[in-house]
Structure 1
Amino acid sequence: MPTSTSHAQRVLITGGSHGIGAAIVARCREDGYEPVILDREGDQAIHCDLADPDSTAAALDRAIASGPITRLVNNVGAVFPHSVEDQTLQEFDAAVALNLRSALQCTQALLPGMRNAGFGRIVSMSSRAALGKEHRAAYAATKAGLIGLTRVLALEEGEHGVTANAVGPGPIATDLFRNANPTDSPKTQAIIDTAPVQRMGTPDDVAHAVSYLLDARCGFVTGQTLYVCGGLTAGRADV
């Protein structure tokens, strides 16, 4: 449940206007939090380009102008699907900026308030692709980077009452997944057929996991990656 102090009721969510982010926003409202959304679009968002440090900094200043925010969901991301051979450096840099650098920048902006409150929850959206997936060179590298960042945060911030965890979605039925995995592709069907639960995941499945990690009672879970993947990582996840 949310803590009783008013500033602890707010949760910053990047990329919260569509897909998994929108489901997280809806779940946060159900849980009693006030979502603060950073996104390029959306009627309720503070508009910014999270791939641009200056635009992100200005949005973060607006977000914390009325007080600290002690919960953060680093959700924004893009895929840039290519093999290692075909991945351009421009795409790779874009993936780092959006998927990884923005998470560090948002975390740095909110950490002082979390430390002062003696409480914080940081959840970063990784991916099952962090374990390796063909044609995901930039995406897999940045999502694995989020796991590394999460583990370092857990080590450094635990004494301040701040936990940091990652969520690694598997095949989730979103526009982002469909754009990178066409529904008529045999590889896409093979993913579904391989899942022990024999179905695609939903954004609500991911939002439920995030809700658990944001909870004030979830104070003894930190530095972990929770795969929401229908069992696809069972016996395969080393990180």
Structure 2
Amino acid sequence: MSAPKVAAVTGGSAGIGRAICQDLLDKGYEVISLARRPSDIAHPKMHSIEVDLMDRAATSEAVHKLVHRFDVTTVVHNAGVIRAALLPDVKLEDLDALVELHLACAIQLVQAALPAMRARHFGRVVLLSSRAAVGLATRTSYSATKAGMLGMARTWALELAADGITVNVVAPGPIRTDMFYDVVEQGSEKERALAASIPVRRLGESADVARAVGFFADAANSFVTGQVLYVCGGTSVGSLAL
């Protein structure tokens, strides 16, 4: 039985998520975006479900609608929010919101897709973490939940491998998106200095991340699971000038 190419992408209406949706469409997938706004991609295989993924009840309803209409065998959990703050200013309600979005939503979505994946002995799960998982000032809630994705993915990789389901993580950063420019002013000296400090001497693009997701989603790559791929221009490696 050939693997059905049906992918659910959270946060698929903008930025990295939009690039992932377009890349998967170009590869022949049926794609469903779950986001607060509908996708602006005009394609017969592009579908949208509008939902606030920080709302557990709304997410549950959206996920039920998703799997009722589609046999999803590829899940890409991309939706994310930063909520930057130095430690003295961290709000626990922000931590709760990011746990809901980055972790609980992933669990709900993959749980719902599992029956279709197991029935076909095939599945691909790709979680979008962040380079911030290795640490970054002002990212207490963001780093904690994005790092949590790594342990969750490795656990699922072990649990689901015998079912033909792979689970991997892409950890981007820094990528030129609206979310990035919410933190760094576009065209500013800070942006130029940041680009110059990256080993490859440039900021990343959404397409860089989409290509990495496409690799993990590919049915041919069945011997790769439980892995984390940093798409970060070398910033996760760390360097010290001596």
Query: Which bracket does the TM-score occupy, shorter chain normalised?
Result: over 0.9
Q: Which residue of 2 aligns with 1:130?
A: 133
The one of 219, 222, 225 equivalent to 1:219 is 222
Q: Alpha-carbon deviation of 1:66? A: 3.0
Do the aligned partners of 1:76 and 1:98 also contact (CA within 8 Å) in 2? yes
Q: Alpha-carbon deviation of 1:185? A: 6.2
Do the aligned partners of 1:183 and 1:189 also contact (CA within 8 Å) in 2? no
- Alpha-carbon spacing, 1:205–1:81, altered in 2? closer, same or farther (3 Å): same
Give a deviation string over 1:81-111, Cα, whole Å, max 9, x none.
1112211111111111112211111111111
Do the aligned partners of 2:7 and 2:31 also contact (CA within 8 Å) in 1? yes
1:170-189 correspondence to structure 2 within 5 Å:
170-183=173-186, 188-189=191-192
Q: Which residue of 2 aligns with 1:41?
A: 37
1:4 counterpart letter in structure 2:
S
RMSD: 1.6
TM-score using structure 2 length? 0.91
Do the aligned partners of 2:76 and 2:125 also contact (CA within 8 Å) in 1? yes
Q: Which residue of 2 aligns with 1:64?
A: 67
Identity of aligned residues (%): 43
For residues 188 and 103 of structure 2, what CA distance do their matches in structure 1 show?
29
- Alpha-carbon spacing, 1:85–1:213, altered in 2? closer, same or farther (3 Å): same
- 4+ aligned runs moved over 4 Å, structure 1: 184-188
Q: Alpha-carbon deviation of 1:184? A: 6.3
Q: Which residue of 1 aligns with 2:28?
A: 32
For residues 185 and 135 of structure 1, what CA distance do their matches in structure 2 show?
20
Q: Which residue of 2 aligns with 1:23?
A: 19
Q: Alpha-carbon deviation of 1:4? A: 3.2
1:1-239 correspondence to structure 2 within 5 Å:
4-5=2-3, 8-43=4-39, 44-183=47-186, 188-234=191-237
1:131 counterpart letter in structure 2:
V
- Alpha-carbon spacing, 1:38–1:150, altered in 2? closer, same or farther (3 Å): same
Do the aligned partners of 2:63 and 2:108 also contact (CA within 8 Å) in 1? no
Q: Any unmatched runs of 5+ in structure 2?
A: 40-46
For residues 221 and 190 of structure 1, what CA distance do their matches in structure 2 show?
36
Do the aligned partners of 2:74 and 2:217 also contact (CA within 8 Å) in 1? yes
- Alpha-carbon spacing, 1:154–1:30, altered in 2? closer, same or farther (3 Å): same
For residues 157 and 206 of structure 2, what CA distance do their matches in structure 1 show?
26
Secondary structure of 1:158's counterpart equals helix
Bigger mean CA deviation after superposition, 180-189 or 160-169:
180-189
TM-score using structure 1 length? 0.92
Secondary structure of 1:213's counterpart equals helix
Q: Alpha-carbon deviation of 1:187? A: 5.2
For residues 157 and 187 of structure 1, what CA distance do their matches in structure 2 show?
43
For residues 125 and 117 of structure 1, what CA distance do their matches in structure 2 show?
24
Do the aligned partners of 2:5 and 2:29 also contact (CA within 8 Å) in 1? yes
